[in-house]
Amino acid sequence: MKLHELKKSNKTKDKKRVGRGISAGGGKTAGRGTKGQKSRSGFNLPRKFEGGQTPIIMRLPKLKGFKSTSNKVTLTFSDINRNFKDDDSLSRESLIAKNLIKKTDKVKIVATGELTVKIKLIDIPASKKAKEIIEKFLIRENKSKKLFNNYS
């Protein structure tokens, strides 16, 4: 075996060069057909073009309003038990640091599961039932009205 006898293990087929003369195999019209817009040089139609029929974007109704980009996250008691220890503070910053929410997310505590950890709650909204349980178990550092703002 010599160096010039080595062959590529993954042989790739060369691209066929069209439009290089009739005898070349793909010459003259080069697979475009004879006439029409698609056979002309520089042909380029937008992908949304549907051949002259009314486009789908025009056929669909105009919908009112917009979709909110902010995501609503529900935080359960089991999530709190799993991610927080005794005497930790639960705030937006701590939730973002533990990757439970993103900066743009809206958070609400929901009474799902049992709360076993005592933590300091700072400016996080909660449901009505969660409020009652939180009053018993959590130590509130900040007693502002912001603590229980409900998101609709």
**Is residue 134 included in any domain, yes or no?**
yes
pLDDT of residue 138: 56
pLDDT of residue 59: 94
First to last CA, the chain: 77
Phi-psi region for residue 113, left (φ > 0), alpha (ψ -120 to 50) or beta? Answer: left
Distance (Å, rounded) from C-alpha 125 to C-alpha 146? 7
**Is residue 126 included in any domain, yes or no?**
yes
**Is residue 117 included in any domain, yes or no?**
yes
pLDDT in tens, 50-84: 988 999 989 999 988 888 778 899 999 998 889 98
**Is residue 85 included in any domain, yes or no?**
yes
**Is residue 100 included in any domain, yes or no?**
yes
Return the higher-pLDDT residue of 108 and 143. 108
Structure tokens at 116: 């076993």
- Bridge partners, 140 (sequence order): 121
**Is residue 52 included in any domain, yes or no?**
no
Q: What are phi and psi of 133, to 5 degrees?
A: -70, -40
pLDDT in tens, 8-50: 777 777 888 888 988 888 888 988 989 988 898 889 988 888 9
Distance (Å, rounded) from C-alpha 147 to C-alpha 140? 9
**Is residue 110 included in any domain, yes or no?**
yes
Distance (Å, rounded) from C-alpha 18 to C-alpha 23? 11
pLDDT of residue 139: 53
Q: Which residue range(s) make up the domain with 83?
A: 72-148
Q: How many domains does the chain have?
A: 1
**Is residue 121 included in any domain, yes or no?**
yes
Distance (Å, rounded) from C-alpha 142 to C-alpha 44? 63
| Nearest alpha carbon to residue 124 among 141, 138, 108 | 108
Give the domain CATH number at 133: 3.100.10.10
